[in-house]
């Protein structure tokens, strides 16, 4: 225990001196999470509304009926009290003074309503929402025109293990916690590269120090570092941005421990073949960048293009993110089969990378002694 204590204190000092590990492990996730939460938090709670211009150049019985009904839609905000000309409406759309313009039928016999949007925003959320709203509006008008009474209706509801409705803040918080712990593991092994480059590991082997205790002390120190990450980010998310957490602690402990160890193994693997700290940081940055945007940290994987989704389901961070969300938001039981299937993929990554890294370290030590 005395030797372990001394090795642990040495590892702790090395970590405190490594500014890059602190930045990527603590400050970068806090900054990134704060930026995304400031931009997107609360967006799901605000009601949708769109500013539109109404064109009714040839007032008639049909256009008057549509105009009166459109004014009753709470999601539409009229740019002007009275309808404008098509030329004026197109100018407003072109200058992005309004989200869209709605052109009413030019005669009582006309059957078309035109929706004009800016080409730059054609695929935007507001344009797509307006199109859907007008489609439903026209369907209701068609039913009314033929005298049909609607029979079926859609009633939307959602359920969750938590007591309140979940928001993007909850989603992002758990994603950023997973990213922070993963980056702590991947970037945190840079000291091994420097120690090997300077010959410190070779000298350490020649001392009475137990190399197994050296590795154990490093592992415990990094787990403590990850605990600091998860507590700090959770407090910021809950106290500053109003995130809601419904934690199942047994599930969280299992996911956290196995996830942290798996990404430590990944960082250990990077250090096994990196000759310099610059090479190590280059590899870690590339892998971190890919997983950051393809593992569901910021946005659900289901919203990504279908051709890239298979890549997401191979990455270990995908399952770490899902595991933390299951245990911190949905309060999933430790006996859940879906939870353990994701943990299995993540642990498999850790075992394989640790095994390969150990072989590379052993090979390099043998070469060094010849």
d(CA 60, CA 62): 6
d(CA 25, CA 11): 16
What does the DSSP 8-state code read for residue 53? E
d(CA 8, CA 254): 23
Class of the CATH domain delimited by 50-145: alpha beta
d(CA 167, CA 176): 15
d(CA 249, CA 334): 9
Going from N- to C-terminal start, the domains of the chain cover: 2-42+167-369, 50-145
What is the number of other CB atoms lying within 10 angstroms of the CB of residue 341?
11
- pLDDT of the chain along its 370 residues, tens only? 776 676 667 666 666 666 666 666 667 777 877 887 777 655 444 556 788 888 888 888 888 888 888 888 877 888 777 888 888 888 888 888 888 888 888 887 777 888 888 877 777 777 777 788 778 777 777 777 777 766 656 555 545 554 445 577 888 888 888 988 888 888 877 777 777 777 776 776 666 655 566 666 677 777 787 888 888 888 888 888 888 888 899 999 999 999 988 998 898 888 888 888 888 888 888 998 899 888 888 888 888 888 888 999 999 999 999 999 989 888 888 888 888 999 999 999 999 998 898 888 777 654 454 4
Q: pTM here?
A: 0.66
pLDDT for res 258: 93
pLDDT for res 213: 64
Single out the residue of 340, 309, 307 nearest to residue 322, CA to CA. Answer: 340
């Amino acid at each position: 225990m005395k030797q372990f204590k001394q090795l642990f204190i040495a590892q702790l000092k090395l970590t405190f001196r490594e500014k890059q590990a602190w930045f990527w492990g603590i400050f970068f996730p806090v900054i990134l999470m704060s930026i995304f939460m400031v931009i997107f938090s609360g967006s799901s709670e605000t009601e949708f509304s769109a500013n539109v211009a109404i064109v009714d150049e040839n007032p008639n019985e049909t256009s008057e009926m549509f105009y009166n009904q459109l004014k009753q839609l709470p999601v539409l905000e009229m740019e002007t009290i009275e309808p404008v000309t098509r030329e004026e409406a197109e100018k407003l759309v072109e200058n992005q003074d309004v989200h869209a313009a709605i052109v009413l039928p030019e005669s009582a016999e006309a059957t078309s309503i035109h929706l004009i949007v800016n080409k730059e925003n054609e695929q935007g959320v507001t344009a797509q929402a307006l199109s859907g709203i007008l489609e439903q509006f026209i369907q209701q008008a068609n039913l009314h025109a033929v005298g049909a009474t609607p029979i079926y209706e859609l009633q939307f509801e959602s359920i969750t293990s938590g007591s309140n409705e979940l928001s993007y803040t909850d989603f992002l918080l758990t994603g950023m916690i997973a990213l922070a712990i993963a980056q702590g593991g991947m970037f945190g092994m840079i000291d091994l590269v420097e120690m090997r480059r300077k010959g410190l590991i070779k000298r350490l082997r020649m001392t009475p120090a137990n190399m197994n205790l050296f590795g154990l002390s490093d592992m415990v120190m990094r787990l403590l570092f990850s605990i600091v990450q998860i507590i700090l980010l959770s407090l910021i998310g809950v106290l500053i941005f109003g995130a809601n957490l419904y934690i199942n602690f047994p599930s969280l402990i299992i996911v956290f421990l196995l996830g942290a160890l798996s990404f430590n193994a990944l960082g250990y693997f990077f250090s096994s073949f990196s000759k310099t700290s610059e090479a190590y940081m280059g590899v870690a940055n590339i892998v971190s960048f890919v997983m950051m945007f393809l593992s569901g940290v910021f946005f659900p994987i289901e919203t990504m293009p279908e051709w890239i989704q298979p890549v997401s389901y191979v990455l270990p961070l995908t399952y770490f993110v899902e595991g933390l969300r299951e245990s911190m938001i949905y309060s999933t039981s430790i006996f859940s089969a879906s939870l353990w299937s994701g943990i299995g993929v993540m642990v498999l990554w850790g075992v394989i990378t640790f095994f390969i890294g150990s072989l590379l370290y052993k090979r390099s030590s043998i070469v060094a002694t010849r």
